[in-house]
Amino acid sequence: MRKTILGNNGPEVSAIGLGCMGLSFGYGPAADKKNAIELIRGSYEMGVNFFDTAEAYGPFTNEELLGEALAPFRDNVVIATKFGFQDGVASKGVDSRPERIKRVAEESLRRLRTDRIDLFYQHRVDPKIPIEEVAGAVKDLIAQGKVKHFGLSEAGAQTIRRAHKVQPVTALQSEYSLWWREPEKEIIPILEELGIGLVAFSPLGKGFLTGAIDADTQFDKSDFRNIVPRFQKENREANKTLIDTVRAFAEKKNATPAQIALAWVIAQKPWIVPIPGTTKLHRLKENVGAAEMELSTADLNEINDAFDRIEVIGDRYPEALSHMRLVFPNSPISTVSSKNIQH
């Protein structure tokens, strides 16, 4: 798989990474450990060298899984993990006190079976702690050799700029896909200005853009999509036009809807890296195949023109939940809190 540099001075990563959250929780029961390790190692064999986890995924179990799976080739991969929640539990709220950040780093190093974290993100901005203090804490960890690069997740433009002055931000992680393009308004321009990479989570719209979900799909009771407005039955039906459009284009390109959705993200900027997650080997192969697709300017214009005429129905997070502040304060949903929503 071809590689790209994440930001101006970041690590060299595969064009598509692997988001590992769903292997432990969030989208139903955790995957069987043996199968999960086989999938992670299989992705490495397919050329993936960029793996995303967090202390809050599980909590803790996802880091442990990744540490075991990647141990045989640790020096050949880039591992990203995150800090920022009280006791590593999202439902308890944010906590980015410098002393907490440094403790998380030590605990994550142990669980990941490594001596350094390649990319250490603040999982969500903590309004109680100045971002300069957060950046300073990570700067200390970098000076100690425990962390290689600093990242932010779902942070706003001014937060990014302030943090970057203290410790250069290598990457911002944010949701970005054909059905969530809000980062294009303000975030992507500032990332380009500052030379920061974008790691796109949920590049397949939490599965919707694969075409495998319709109005009749039944999610497991532990699947957080049960409380996501966009995944309410009536909204899935209303958004059918969106996936029909992707599917029609995919057929013309002899590809799958998922491959078109991923190839579109990759084509936006050379420093944007999607990290789709999956628990199935055939889906992994499908996703990896998107890295080899070439979308021409005409292809991109056709896709963009079609999607500009489609209104996506339903918010991306529940409105009633409020402690995990998101990057886009002026969007319909600016906050979210749930024990099951941690991305």
Cβ neighbourhood burial of 143 (10 Å; 0-12, 13-18, 19+): exposed
Side chain identity at 131, as an amino acid letter?
Answer: I
Q: Do residues 213 and 27 touch, judged by C-beta distance below 8 A? A: no
Which residue type occupies 27?
A: Y
Q: Which residues are catalytic?
A: 57
Beta bridge partners of 82: 121
**Rounded to an integer, what is the distance from CA 275 to the centroid of its chain?**
6
* Block residue for tokens 């990759």: 266
The Cα 152–Cα 230 span in angstroms is 25
DSSP-H helix ranges across the chain: 33-45, 61-70, 98-112, 131-143, 157-166, 187-194, 233-238, 240-252, 257-268, 281-289, 297-308
